[in-house]
Chains A and B, each alone.
Chain A
């Protein structure tokens, strides 16, 4: 799909006072409906987050109080200190950061590299190879997770850090997304560099890579988020608790302290917060990346 800017504001030409169209009643009704729709959906979307945050600052018996209390009567900020000793949060977070960073680096590196090959170098069999990539993108991981698990296990890789890194790093999505972008770079640019005697790697490094900052940022943020939030991969592959990611750890914590609602919400907030920050920083690239190529998951 070719998509235009989703993120950039559409430029409205400066309205001239005497040129303003008259507002019809239907238009006013439409505007009212529009704003109320936005309001209702925002509230519905944000309420679970609001509830998660306020609950994390309440005492346990206040969470389910009748009638509902929107704000805690006393703010239990200490929940955010206690959770670090009550649960192995720091191990889980460090593991998750490790996986997310390594997977993102590998995905960006191998993905952009392969995309350059598919987009800018004409070689025999290229289209056939790319078709294989596209075809497997439609196959959900859930359909081949069993053979994949048995293969990695037979190599002794299950319950190691390798399993999660390998699992996430070589997806077809990164190749597809970067190729979409490289295809939009004019052929003449790389052709000219080739005539100037630059090697293919030189063209990739000096011409294409400097142009693809925002696409690489998009791929990096999307991959980072996916790896951070992945639950099924770690669930299947990781047994040792010292390898647990934040998602697995949070689930373990929930089962161990099933009645400690405030603490569970504290852990949930902490598991969501980092990715929320990453998203808010890079949301334009993130959304642009999704709009141009969809997202795996």
Chain B
């Protein structure tokens, strides 16, 4: 992206030095075009960029300062050095939320990836009804979190919910789901997977459709069976798409917030309290905006590490 060659301009063109008499008319004209382009370009970008700068870039930069301050509901932030970070290191609830986020990600990422990949392969086949299937699989993704969480909470009802009623056909003692510290997180993961699989399916399908059919034909001529074609043609050709999907899925898992907030409110206990929800809680329940920013910065750092790995991978591939 964005790898368009910049027009070569000499360094003094920036000063717009019209007083310097240049014998070469073409150079003068090039400078005029370059100036006009700069003005026009900035004008086109301005409406979005001003909003973007004020609402996204500004807050992101401010985060790095606020994370080192004490800031209550009123007044200005007061710089406290590393105080917040020492507090963070000893904060048991922070670490619980950190590991909960990790737990959620470690299960949710492979689960979603495998199902989405399988569905994308299905959609890429010539089976009838796949257009309908694509639409259906995408429904959960456009369903609002509040409605989805509410329906699933009722489905998960331990006593008389349909899920446990179904499970009682096979086991006498089905899980307590949202009421139990052990099963609340798996329930959240099931709902998140239900909701997101269709989205990643579309991304993976787009990748599958870029694989030239000749590759499969050649493999078939060489006597490769379906399974071998999958591992030796599909998977290697899908590497860039897979990588993009995994990065998106990872960041998406780290930042999970609204689903747990609506479905479990982090409970029971702290069993589904995730990092982003801890940020929310510290900020809006306790008005401790400085420390909330400190936790935010951890979330930021984790996502940045994933993004940097992506950059590193892309550059290595380009070499």
Task: List residues of chain A with CB under 8 Å of any chain B CB.
Answer: 1-6, 9-10, 12, 26, 30-31, 34-35, 37-38, 41-42, 44-46, 48-49, 51-52, 55, 63-68, 109-111, 113-114, 116-118, 121-127, 129-136, 138-151, 166-167, 169-172, 174-175, 179-180, 200, 204, 225, 228-229, 231-232, 236, 246-247, 250-251, 254, 261, 264-265, 268-269, 271-272, 275-276, 279-280, 283, 287, 290-292, 294-295
By a CB distance below 8 angstroms, the chain B residues around A131 are 2
- 16 example contacts (A-B, Cβ-Cβ < 8 A) are as follows A38-B130, A42-B137, A48-B152, A48-B155, A66-B160, A114-B48, A124-B6, A138-B306, A140-B254, A142-B255, A151-B54, A236-B284, A268-B151, A279-B142, A287-B138, A291-B205
Given A6-B202, A147-B293, answer yes or no on A123-B34 (Cβ-Cβ < 8 Å): yes
By a CB distance below 8 angstroms, the chain B residues around A146 are 59, 63, 66, 279, 283, 289, 292-293, 296
Given A10-B209, A52-B151, A68-B162, 19 more contacts at CB 8 Å? A5-B209, A12-B126, A41-B119, A42-B137, A45-B137, A48-B194, A117-B41, A118-B41, A123-B37, A124-B9, A136-B56, A146-B289, A147-B58, A167-B55, A170-B51, A232-B257, A236-B284, A265-B150, A291-B205
Q: Check B144 against A247 for contact (C-beta < 8 Å).
A: yes
Expressed in whole angstroms, the minimum distance between the Cβ of A286 and any Cβ of chain B is 8
Q: Of residues 269 to 319 in B, which have CB atoms within 8 Å of A's CB atoms? A: 276, 279-280, 283-284, 289, 292-293, 296-297, 299-300, 303-304, 306-307
A145 to B206, CA, bound (A): 32
Q: Does B223 make an interface contact (CB < 8 A)? A: no
By a CB distance below 8 angstroms, the chain B residues around A247 are 144-146
By a CB distance below 8 angstroms, the chain B residues around A225 are 142
> Which of A38, A64, A126, A134 is B6 in contact with, Cβ under 8 Å?
A126
Q: Check A200 against B60 for contact (C-beta < 8 Å).
A: no
Q: Check A130 against B2 for contact (C-beta < 8 Å).
A: yes
Expressed in whole angstroms, the minimum distance between the Cβ of A6 and any Cβ of chain B is 5
By a CB distance below 8 angstroms, the chain A residues around B131 are 9
By a CB distance below 8 angstroms, the chain B residues around A291 are 202-203, 205-206
Q: Does B19 make an interface contact (CB < 8 A)? A: no
A125 to B40, CA, bound (A): 13
Given A139-B60, A251-B262, A254-B150, answer yes or no on A45-B139 (Cβ-Cβ < 8 Å): yes
Q: Check A138 against B304 for contact (C-beta < 8 Å).
A: yes
Given A138-B304, A143-B297, A287-B202, answer yes or no on A271-B147 (Cβ-Cβ < 8 Å): yes
By a CB distance below 8 angstroms, the chain B residues around A111 are 48
Which of B20-28, B78-86, B104-112, B240-248 lies at the interface? B240-248
Given A4-B206, A37-B118, answer yes or no on A26-B6 (Cβ-Cβ < 8 Å): no
Q: Of residues 213 to 243 in B, which have CB atoms within 8 Å of A's CB atoms? A: 225-226, 240-241
Q: Check B248 against A294 for contact (C-beta < 8 Å).
A: yes
Given A45-B139, A117-B40, A117-B41, answer yes or no on A294-B257 (Cβ-Cβ < 8 Å): no
A109 to B140, CA, bound (A): 29
By a CB distance below 8 angstroms, the chain B residues around A126 are 4, 6, 41
